Amino acid sequence: MEKEKQLKSIREYVKNIFQDDATGHDYFHMKRVAKVAKLIAEKENADSFVTEAAGLLHDVGDHKLFNNPSAVLDEMYLFLKSIHVQDDDIEKIKIAMKDVSFSKGNVPVTLEGKIVQDADRIDAIGAIGIARTFAFGGAKGQLIYHDAHNESTSIQHFHDKLLKLKELIHTTTAKKMANERHAFMEAFLKEFHREW
């Protein structure tokens, strides 16, 4: 029960931080990642509280999104302490969050970290992934597609990153979800080019 209350506070905290984001890192991304991460954690026998909390918090202090990441993270640790999350759980959350981002190219060390990374990747593919890609592209002012070159378009991003993600998934549970979402993206791209 205590942990349920803490998760509720963490949700509020994350909502305040990300509510105005227009680059695909909005609060609902955090909510979806946490939900998928929790589901995977239950199937893979990982620590469900740590995984869900780290899923909610995984983009806090991301260097792309914050000017002063270490100050943002220090504030987050103080917040977790203030709602009485145990020190060893804070430590586990910290470790699970550390290596999540694709751009850093790191493999998380703990099962909980691997699961949060899987959930973040799951949210980058499939129908949601397609929507986020064009939202991000729009926010950056980039073209949907260009048929003469393949630089910096949202369609190119599928080839640069999204179609590669399914091979980088760690857990069996997430792999199944990733395969379905991958197939959906391939069908989308096929139809996109047919209509183009």
Residue in the structure block whose two tokens are 């592209």: 137
Q: Cβ 94 to Ni ion, closest distance in Å?
A: 16
The number of C-alpha atoms within 13 Å of 141 and in the hemisphere containing its C-beta is 0
Residue 146 in contact with ligand ADP, rule: CB under 6 A = no
Q: Cβ 144 to Ni ion, closest distance in Å?
A: 23
Binding pattern for the stretch 102-131 against ligand ADP, x by CB under 6 A and - elsewhere: xx----------------x---x----x--
Q: Is 125 helix (H, G, I), strand (E, B) or coil?
A: coil
Which residue stretch of 46-54, 70-78, 133-141, 178-186 sits at the interface with ligand ADP (rule: CB under 6 A)?
133-141
| Binding residues for Ni ion (CB under 5 A) | 59, 120
Residue 64 in contact with ligand ADP, rule: CB under 6 A = yes
Q: Is 155 helix (H, G, I), strand (E, B) or coil?
A: helix
Q: Cβ 3 to ligand ADP, closest distance in Å?
A: 26
Instruction: Say if CB 146 and CB 153 are below 8 A apart.
Output: yes
Q: Which amino acid is at 155?
A: I
Q: Cβ 120 to ligand ADP, closest distance in Å?
A: 5
Angle at 11 between CA 2 and CA 126, to 5 degrees: 125
**Of 152, 168, 148, which is closest to residue 160 (Cα–Cα)?**
152
The token duo for 173 is 């549970």
Q: What residues make contact with ligand ADP under the rule CB under 6 A?
A: 24, 62, 64, 101-103, 120, 124, 129, 132-133, 136-137, 154, 157, 162
